[in-house]
Chain A
Amino acid sequence: MSKHKGISDLAKREERLAYWLLLPTFIILLVIAFYPLGSVFYNSLTNKVFASDQPVEFVGLENYSRLLSMTIRRLPPVLDASGNPEVNPETGEPVYARSLDVLPREPRRYREAMQFSFLGNRYVVGATDRDFVRGIFDTLRFTVFSVVLETVLGLGIAMVVNTKFTGRGAMRAVMLVPWAIPTAVSSRMWQWMFQSTRVGFFNVVFQGLGLIESPIPFLTEQTWQVPAMIAIDVWKTTPFMALLLLAGLQLIPGDIYEAADVDGASKLRQFFTITLPLLRPTLAVALVFRTLDALRVFDLFQIVLAQSRYSMASFTYYQLTNNRAMGYSSASSVIIFILIFVFAVVYIQLLGGVDAE
């Protein structure tokens, strides 16, 4: 081993340098994150009420089970006098029993979170906290759609502004405008454009094009709420993706493409064999941060939809501010944390990126 002493000395020096370089980051994070995050974990196991003298009791996993308890029950069809399934004369759909009648009430009361049909049967999903369960599903839907759209659009835009053309500098500034407007303000802007009457831009345009008969209340009608949120977020955050991917494209050496041109590889082929693989680490890190932000989306939902529909984070916010339920909201925060952690690990395992050796 003594033969390698020189090398291992070098390795030790490298290791020491690495620790010194990481020290400032960990000091800062220790100061600002250790106590707040620790208290979130701790509070999530208690019934703590915010700004109150009420004694704090340790309740174990009670908060978690209240947030996450779910059950699925089959809804039996309603039979008419002759024993045949009853049919709604207006819609032609069969009539099912009320979810209230099939969902358990003891020891806790389950409320309907959603319904779905599967193999000809009708089912109801009941939850002890249906707002949170709906919040989880809505946030996941929001995250999947907006992140996919942002990645595709962002990559397209990044490749366009990566080519040389007159006005490229101005174009790069233009593409960042949506990201530069504070969310607190841009959400209001879009809220105004989505107005339910013809004061709103979209209703004016859609009606002008003859696409709709009467104005659509985008922000109050259940089916339109989440798509509207996705539309706003895609517009707002595509620039983030585009700029990050642009920097990634810049680091791909141009001579690789020259060589590919000489070999006669088509542009499409070059995209799949050169651009995408070399962009993968940047793509991975961009996806991690985008997904993380989308899963904890807050301002957008809180400003535009307030309490008519929740994201996981806005649910947490209203639990804390309206009900002052600090223990309960801490538990929902921890659930968000775990979900994000799972997403991050899956991404990094699938895409390699920073973690790969």
Chain B
Amino acid sequence: MNKQTQQILKRVLFWVVIVFIFVYMLFPFYWAINSSLKTEAQLQMTPATFVPRDPATLSFSPTLRNYGAVFRNDKFISGLLNSAIVSGITTVVALSVGAFAAFALGKLRFRGRTPSLYLILAMTMFPQVAVLTGLYAVINALGISAIPGMILSYMLFTLPFTAWVLTSFFRELPMEIMQSAQVDGATPFQTFYMILLPLTMPALVTTGLLAFIAAWNEYLFALTFTSITPQYRTVPVAIALFTGEIARQEPFGEIMAAAVLVTIPLILLVLIFQQKIVAGLTAGAVKG
């Protein structure tokens, strides 16, 4: 085999892998889209069809009824807004507070570093149901409403995550970068936001995205804390409580339509931010 055919073979293999990942990641989502375009009767057809088909003639016949029902459901729309607010603020707070902590834990020398790390992690080692009643009491005692209540309680799983992940990334940066900045007369804080943060941009964006999605998807806390104030329900709760406009039983088609709609903003978000997940900055910085 000469070099050229080897090259071609490699490219083909590479694209086969890409296609495989593409199908694996998207097929269940495609199945949700497929189901969202079916009526109740079409959903019950056997065997299940790969596109919505008419039960009698088997011709291609999608329906937009489910989407119409979701858009007419104002709880879904307000849920989107609530989710955006809650997840957005949660991410910003968890990322900035976590980055401060990570700077200390990853780059500074002080007594009690290891216990601090374990203590922070221990906060997130309990199942959510276990802390639910206690947390509810705390939110009530603080006298805050559902939205800040959710933001605060989401810190329980986002803050340890951002603090730990950022600590591990900050540690990766060579100490020389910080020392040379200090020699140049930079205060530790200047070193932090002018050198450390820009150099770990991929890590910050990644951590932020993962925290955002975790908050966006949270269900149990949101369900509990909005039980007496339904206007603050987030979108997973709103979807779970769909009673169905068309179907009498469980509105499966509508749930799938909502699932598709709720995923689109996140895909856009990832498309925008993924450009930041590139190296380049570090490559040059470590030299010398």
Contacts and interface: CB of A to CB of B under 8 A. Distances in A.
Do A and B come together as binding partners?
yes
Interface of A: 11, 14-15, 17-19, 21-22, 24-25, 28-29, 31-33, 35-40, 50, 157, 160, 163, 165, 169-186, 188-190, 192-193, 197-201, 204, 207-208, 235, 239-240, 243-244, 246-248, 250-255, 281-282, 284-285, 288-289, 292, 296, 298-299, 312-313, 316-317, 320, 326, 329-330, 333, 336-337, 340-341, 344, 353-355
B97 A28 contact: yes
B240 A184 contact: yes
Interface in B157-187: 159-161, 163-165, 167-169, 171-172
Nearest to A283: B168
A169 B271 contact: yes
B129 A28 contact: no
B263 A177 contact: yes
Contacts of A169: 271, 274-275
A326 B136 CA distance: 15
- The listed residue with most B CB atoms (<10 A of its CB), out of A21, A25, A38, A312, is A25
Interface residues on B, range: 35 or more
A21 to B, nearest CB: 4
Contacts of B31: 189, 192-193, 201
Contact of A247 (B14, B203, B235): B203
Contacts of B105: 22, 354
A248 to B, nearest CB: 8
B46 interface: yes
The dominant DSSP class at the B interface is helix
B252 A14 contact: no
Interchain residue pairs A-B with the least CB separation, the first 7: A36-B134, A333-B130, A313-B127, A247-B206, A18-B104, A18-B110, A180-B266
Contact of A244 (B32, B43, B119, B206): B206
A185 B239 contact: yes
A142 to B, nearest CB: 14
B111 interface: yes
A37 B45 CA distance: 49
Contacts of A179: 210, 213
- The listed residue with most A CB atoms (<10 A of its CB), out of B98, B131, B274, is B274
The dominant DSSP class at the A interface is helix
A86 B279 CA distance: 69
A172 B109 CA distance: 37
A199 B138 contact: no
B60 interface: no
B52 interface: no
Given A175-B21, A186-B259, A192-B35, 18 more contacts: A15-B108, A15-B111, A17-B189, A32-B152, A40-B130, A169-B274, A172-B277, A176-B270, A180-B266, A185-B262, A193-B31, A235-B28, A243-B210, A247-B206, A251-B279, A336-B126, A341-B125, A354-B106
Contact of A36 (B118, B138, B278): B138
Interface string B86-126: 00000000000110110111101111011011111111111
Contacts of B155: 28-29, 32
30 contacts: A18-B110, A22-B104, A25-B98, A29-B155, A35-B138, A36-B134, A37-B131, A173-B271, A173-B274, A176-B209, A176-B266, A177-B25, A179-B210, A179-B213, A180-B216, A181-B263, A184-B217, A199-B45, A207-B47, A243-B277, A250-B202, A251-B202, A253-B279, A255-B283, A288-B164, A316-B127, A336-B125, A336-B127, A341-B122, A354-B168
Contact of B130 (A184, A186, A282, A330): A330
Contacts of B118: 344
B48 A198 contact: yes
A182 B235 contact: yes
Contacts of A296: 125-128
B252 to A, nearest CB: 7
B206 A246 contact: yes
A291 to B, nearest CB: 11
A183 B217 contact: yes
A46 B194 CA distance: 53
A333 B216 CA distance: 25
Given A29-B123, A32-B138, A172-B274, A189 B161 contact: no
Contacts of B275: 169
A339 to B, nearest CB: 9
Contacts of B46: 197-199
A178 B29 contact: yes
A354 B171 contact: yes
Given A165-B18, A171-B21, A181 B29 contact: yes
